[in-house]
Structure 1
């Protein structure tokens, strides 16, 4: 093989390697963008808890694989209506018994998750599974659950309990829908009419005074 041929072979190898590298970087960027979009704030939270970005993204991909194997399904229309009525009742009970209402809200969210097909035995696993489709509201759930855990010891103020109800409602409304990842802006617009009334209800003094 002549020197000229060797040079051309080397050039071809370099070009192939360069093309492969560009394709790899493009695919990695595409995957990263997809994970950011799907997991929302949970992407950065997972990144902060891992030693590097690669490990964080592998964890998120593993969550996707696990949830893909679950039988996650939308609620039947009648179930969705029943849960919506129950939420209204729980929210109204907040006025007289805020601690009890927050505990009920936690149980109601868990019940909806179970009916939709999410495993509910372990809270951390619940959070992990929910992150795949509900990353935007997952921090609400964490905060609400933390406040709910302080109800029994009466270490949560009325304002904290009110915030817990608001946090639970954020996830509850998503779980009732059939497409939690899509059409977020439309869902927020649809909820606006309820938010003002709900806020007034929760702002009333316990005891109805």
Structure 2
């Protein structure tokens, strides 16, 4: 076999190895981004023209958040926020719309305390997606209901759901600090927080009747 043929074979082999290596690295990055961003990965892919463009954006989000001074809350601050949440939830009984507004403000306050910029809602979503991508859908839904509530366009049941959605992210923001949401109890997700959800109309009426006796 001539030298030219040997060189061609070697070059082809090197190119093939590089191509396989590149493919493997791309797949590893894709799996890592999927694991990190959860449902936000597919959402971003659907919103962008190509998967590559979406993955570049998600990587840029990681780099941005890594440059921020995201810090944990100390135990005293976590307990104070947990107490505020319980107070807001109790106010839902008589003023559900006001309570939802307070819940939104409380979540934003915790974000700021943790070191997240809070000026722009879309930027908040982008930054939160890096660590809290699996609960970001809750935040979007809560914000959408809260916006409609400001124009008196949300039902009481929708407001109750908004509280549940806000709580999902609120719990993660507190639990991500390494502590529990309330006292020594482990952090809970919205799915298993049923016994602490805001009460519905029937329960509210029953309480008022009891107070009137």
Q: Does structure 1 residue 89 correspond to structure 2 residue 55?
A: no
Structure 2 unmatched ranges of 5 or more: 179-185, 209-213
Contact 2:37 2:131 in 1 (8 A): yes
Alignment length, in residue pairs? 198
Aligned residue in 1 for 2:164: 166
Alignment counterpart, residue 62 of structure 1, candidates 60, 63, 66: 60
Aligned residue in 2 for 1:202: 199
Aligned residue in 2 for 1:134: 132
Q: CA RMSD in A?
A: 1.8
Rate the CA distance shift 1:12–1:172 in 2: closer, same or farther, 3 A.
same
Structure 1 unmatched ranges of 5 or more: 181-188
Q: CA deviation at 1:179?
A: 6.0
Aligned residue in 1 for 2:45: 47
CA deviations 1:61-93 (Å, max 9, x no partner) are: 111111111000111110000001111111111
Alignment counterpart, residue 97 of structure 2, candidates 99, 106, 121: 99
Q: Secondary structure at the match of 1:16?
A: helix
CA deviations 1:114-148 (Å, max 9, x no partner) are: 00000000001001000010000001101101111
* Cα distance in 2, alignment partners of residues 194 and 202 from structure 1: 15
Higher relative contact order (CA 8 A, sep 6+): 1
Q: Secondary structure at the match of 2:149?
A: coil
Q: CA deviation at 1:194?
A: 6.7
Aligned residue in 1 for 2:188: 191
Q: Secondary structure at the match of 2:4?
A: helix
Contact 1:74 1:177 in 2 (8 A): no
Q: Secondary structure at the match of 2:188?
A: helix
* Cα distance in 1, alignment partners of residues 94 and 204 from structure 2: 5
Q: CA deviation at 1:21?
A: 0.4
Alignment counterpart, residue 76 of structure 1, candidates 62, 74, 77: 74
CA deviations 1:150-170 (Å, max 9, x no partner) are: 222111000100010000000
Q: What TM-score, normalized to structure 2?
A: 0.88
